[in-house]
Structure 1
Amino acid sequence: MTSSNDPEKAVNLDSLPPEVLQQVRRIVQAEYAKDLRKQLGAVPRAINWRTLTPEDLEHELLELNAWVDWLRHEYGLPAQVIPPMWHRHAELRWELSALRQHWLTCYDQQAKGNMGVVWHGEFALARERLRDWVSISGTRLDRDRATRITEWPGGEAEDFSAPDTTERPVTDRNEDFVAFVTESVRARQAEQDAAMQEILEDEREE
C-alpha cells in the first residue's frame, strides 16, 4: 500500500508503525467524511418561520423566493395557485416552504429512485391546498389584500389588532418582495433585541 501515484514520492504505508498508520487512516477517513458531507449537503429540515434569526430569516426568504419562481415557471402555475404576492400571506409561505423542503428531500442525492413520484403526488395535493389558501386570502394576479382574521369575542390578546384588508393594486412585485424582506428582517431584529433586553433585565434583578 502506498500514498502516492508518483513512484519517487511514494510512501510504503505498511512500513509505518501501527499507531502512526492508524492515525493516518483516521485523518483520511475524516477528510473523506468532510468531503462527502460537502458534496451531499445538509439534510433538509422543516423551517419554523417563527424562530429564525434575522440573518436566517433573510436567507430563507430569498431561497424560497428563488425556488417558487422556478416552480411557477417550470410547471406553468397560474396565479390561482401561486399569486405574485404570496410572500405577504403567512399561510402561503408555510405551505410553499413545506413543499420546497419536501422537494429538497425527495431530490437529494441519497434519495431513492421513486421519490420523484412521491413528491409529485404530494405536489398535486399541495396545489389544491394552495388554491384554497389563495381563495381565502383574497390575493389575486393584479391586486392584493391582507388575509382577513375572524376575531373571537373575548378570545383575542389585548394588543391584537385586525390587519388592514384594504385592497391594493399589484404594480411591481419584485420591488414589493424586497420591501417585505427588509420589513420582516427589521421586525425580527427588534423582537430579538427585545428578548435580549428582557434577559439582561432579569439577570440584573437577580
Structure 2
Amino acid sequence: MRFEEDLYVDEDPRVVCWKDINSTDEQVELRRLDEWVNWLTGRYHLDYKTIPSCWQQHGSLVEELAALRTMWEGSFQDDAAPSDAIAFHRELDASLRRLREWNSRSGCSRTTHRAQLAE
C-alpha cells in the first residue's frame, strides 16, 4: 500500500517502548518517526505551536507522536475496518490538543528550543 510522499504502510503497526529502547534503535526509530511527522505537519498544515522543530528533544511529544503514528499505521492496513480512518482522526484531534498544551508549557518558539528542566 502506498501513501503520499513515499510513506508506506507495508508492515504491522510498530509500537515503540521508548523507555526500554537502546540508543542505536532509538536513533533509527526517531528517523522513521521524523519522516512521518514531516508528512503529518505538511498534510494537516500544523505549525510550530503544535509540533515545534525541536519535538525530538521533548519526551512527551515523542511519545504522543509515536503513539499517533502507530494508530495511523493500523488504520490504513489492508485489513483495517472502514471506520478506522475516522477513529484515527478522532484521536488526531485529541492528540493535537495535547501536543499544543505540552508545547505551550515547554516555552519553545519557532526559532528557540528551551531544554526541559529536571524535577
Fold equivalence (TM over 0.5) = yes
In structure 2, the partner of 1:124 is 93
Give the number of the structure whose alpha-carbon radius of gyration is greater.
Answer: 1
Partner of 2:63: 94
Residue deviations 1:20-45 (CA, integer Å, cap 9, x gap)? xxxxxxxxxxxxxxxxxxx952x224
Which residue of structure 2 lines up, in the alignment, with residue 177 of structure 1? Answer: none
Percent identity, aligned pairs only, is 33
RMSD between aligned alpha carbons? 1.6
For residue 35 of structure 2, the aligned residue among 66, 70, 85 is 66
Give how far 1:91 is off. Answer: 1.0
Hey, which bits of structure 1, 4+ residues long, moved more than 6 A?
none
- What does 1:147-166 align with in structure 2 at a 5 Å threshold? 147-149=116-118, 151=119
Q: Which residue of 1 aligns with 2:3?
A: none
- Structure 2 gaps of 5+ residues are 1-8
Larger RCO (CA under 8 A, 6+ residues apart)? 2
The whole-number CA distance in structure 2 between the counterparts of 1:119 and 1:73 is 17
CA offset digits 1:95-138 (Å, max 9, x no partner): 11111111111111111111110000000000000011101111
Residues paired across the two proteins, number: 111
Which amino acid is 2:107 matched to? G
Structure 1: gaps spanning 5 or more residues: 1-38, 152-206
SS in 1 for 2:73: helix
Q: In 1, distance between residues paired with 2:109 and 2:60?
A: 15
Structure 2 match to 1:75: 44
For the residue of structure 2 that corresponds to 1:147, the secondary structure is coil
What amino acid is the match of 1:91? S
Answer yes or no: is 1:114 the counterpart of 2:89. Answer: no
8 A Cα contact 1:44 1:105, kept in partner: yes
